Structures are given as structure tokens and as C-alpha cells.
Amino acid sequence: MKEGAVLSAHSVSDDMRATVLENLAALERTHQVKVLFACESGSRGWGFASPDSDYDVRFVYVNRLPWYLSVEPDRDVIEQPISGELDINGWDLRKTLQLLRESNPTLLEWLRSPIVYQQEGRWAVRLRELAEEGFSPVRGYHHYVSMAKKNMREHLYGEVVRYKKYLYVLRPLLAARWIREGRGVPPMRFAELASETLTDRALLDEVNALLEVKMRAGESATSPRWVGIHDFLEAELALALTHSPDKGPKADEYQLDQYLHDAVLHFDARV
């Protein structure tokens, strides 16, 4: 592995990919919707899944035109009961664009996932463009710092710590650093995030050692405290809490409305 590189594994077998696509097709038929975009979220998308990690499939879908014309709004999410290791749920396009208008960090991660199961060409491309254009540094920053602070407080102060909890603090803190350095939307891939923001060789070596054992161990596996990583996290969180990010641009609501209008009319006859 070259110097500065960070371990990464985005593992989805051909059989599991086929299973995911079958489930998405069944959801389209059952709910009379069209999936515009479907990806892997969570640890497989971040690149540090354990052998027993779930498959967290997330998708954006568009309903038929009549669904958008009722006085009383209908349910705007589709959630399939967790089956074995497969967890699938998605958001209607209007809900998605409302969240995009608020620069929702979870949605931005979906759109940057390295594991894409299904997408509708130019519609997925445009959705990503709209998300990038309306990115709010302040919303993203506060989201990641709050996430890191909560996980740090709740999971990292015992003598024994679950491996993955270190990464659940490290990843958001590095995403916050990415934003603090003015780089825009953070990448979803942890390896890219870490290799581009960390320069301390000893820390990188310890992070890679943690990743290596985490990707071989079960989700609930624990170890004694990793001192170097823990000390870095405490210092980085303290620094992050002192920073006030810029607000950045607001999403263009006319463009979001136009996208919704065009997508609903385009896919109505195909659903």
C-alpha cells in the first residue's frame, strides 16, 4: 500500500447486487413508483464494513402524477421490513428535494456513494448537481460535529470500546475538517476523506490498523482503548467546536421545482 493510502473495501457480491435489484423492482411494482437512484449507505458505502454488516440500501423514487395532486399528502417514504442482512428504504422525490433544499447531509452522502445499484442517467446527474449547488457549509458542519460529539460522549470513554465507534467519531470529524478547509461537500468514501485530511504518519498507521481489524471482526467486536486515535479525536473535537463555518449559498427553489415538475411528467407514463 502506497504511503498515505488508507484501507478501503466496498464489498457487494454479484449475488447480493442481484438480490437488491430484484427487491427494488418488486417495490416499483407494488407501490407504482419509479426508482431514480439507489445506493449503498452506511459502513459498506463508507468502505469499512465488517463481515456481518448489513446492506443499507437507500433510494429516491418518483410517484405517478395523481399522487402529487391530492389535497391530503400521502406517505412519502417506502420502508421494507429488514430481512436478514438487507435493509431497504427510500424517499419520494418531493421529500428528497425538500431535504436537498435544506442541504441534508445524509442525502448528500447517498448521492456520493461509491456503490450505486440503480440510476436514471441524466436525472441522477442533475440531482447531484442540484445538491452540490445548494450545499450549505454551516448545516453540514454542525451535523458532523454534533454527530461526533454525541458518539464520543456515549461510546468512547469506557476502557473497552467497539471498533466501529472510533470510526463513527473519526469520520464525521474529518468531514467537518474537510468543510472547515473550504473543500465543499465531503466525500462519502472514508479512505478518500482520511487520506486527504490526515498527514500524521503515526496516526494514519494506527487508523489503518484499526480498519484492518474492524473489517475482519464482527460488528459488536471490542478492544481496549486505542490511545493515539482517542487523543486525536479529543483534540480534533475541541478544535471543531471553536469554528463557525460560512453559511454558503442557498438552493435555487425554482430549479428544484422545475426538476420535480419535469421528472414527474417524464416518468408518469413509465410507472
Q: Please, which pLDDT band fits residue 271 given cuts at 50, 70 and 90? A: low
In a 3-state reduction of DSSP, which class is residue 59? strand
Q: Please, which pLDDT band fits residue 4 given cuts at 50, 70 and 90? A: low
Host H or E run for residue 248: none
| Stretch 98-120: mean pLDDT | 96
pLDDT tens sequence across 196-228: 999 999 999 999 999 999 999 888 899 999 999
Average pLDDT along the chain: 93
DSSP state of 217: S
Of 168, 173, 167, nearest to 210 by C-alpha is 167
Answer CATH for 14-135+249-268 from 3.30.460.10, 3.40.50.620, 3.40.50.12780, 3.40.1390.10:
3.30.460.10
| Contact (CB, 8 A) for 56 and 41 | yes
Is the pLDDT at 83 greater than 50, yes or no? yes
| Contact (CB, 8 A) for 111 and 127 | yes
- C-alpha 40/C-alpha 100 separation (Å) is 18
Which position has the higher pLDDT, 176 or 249?
A: 176
- C-alpha 85/C-alpha 268 separation (Å) is 33
| Stretch 141-157: mean pLDDT | 96
Is the pLDDT at 3 greater than 60, yes or no? no
Which position has the higher pLDDT, 10 or 98?
A: 98
Of 240, 13, 249, 231, nearest to 144 by C-alpha is 240
pLDDT tens sequence across 152-166: 999 999 889 999 999
pLDDT tens sequence across 22-57: 999 999 999 999 999 999 998 999 999 998 899 999
| Contact (CB, 8 A) for 10 and 191 | no
- C-alpha 260/C-alpha 47 separation (Å) is 32
pLDDT tens sequence across 226-256: 999 999 999 999 999 999 888 888 889 999 9
Instruction: List Cβ neighbours of 91 (8 Å cut-off, separation of 6 or more).
Output: 59, 60, 61, 76, 77, 99, 107
Per-residue confidence (pLDDT) for residue 1, from 0 to 100: 44
Per-residue confidence (pLDDT) for residue 219, from 0 to 100: 85
| Stretch 122-142: mean pLDDT | 95
Residue ranges with strand state E in 42-115? 55-63, 77-83, 86-92
C-beta pairs of 194-200 under 8 Å, 24+ apart in sequence: 194/6, 194/170, 195/4, 195/5, 195/6, 198/174, 200/232
Of 8, 101, 96, 19, nearest to 55 by C-alpha is 19
User: Residue 153 to residues 59, 194, 232: CA-CA distances in angstroms?
Assistant: 31, 22, 15
pLDDT over 70 percentage in the chain: 97
Q: How far apart are the first and last CA of the chain?
A: 47
Per-residue confidence (pLDDT) for residue 24, from 0 to 100: 97
pLDDT tens sequence across 56-78: 999 999 999 999 999 998 999 99
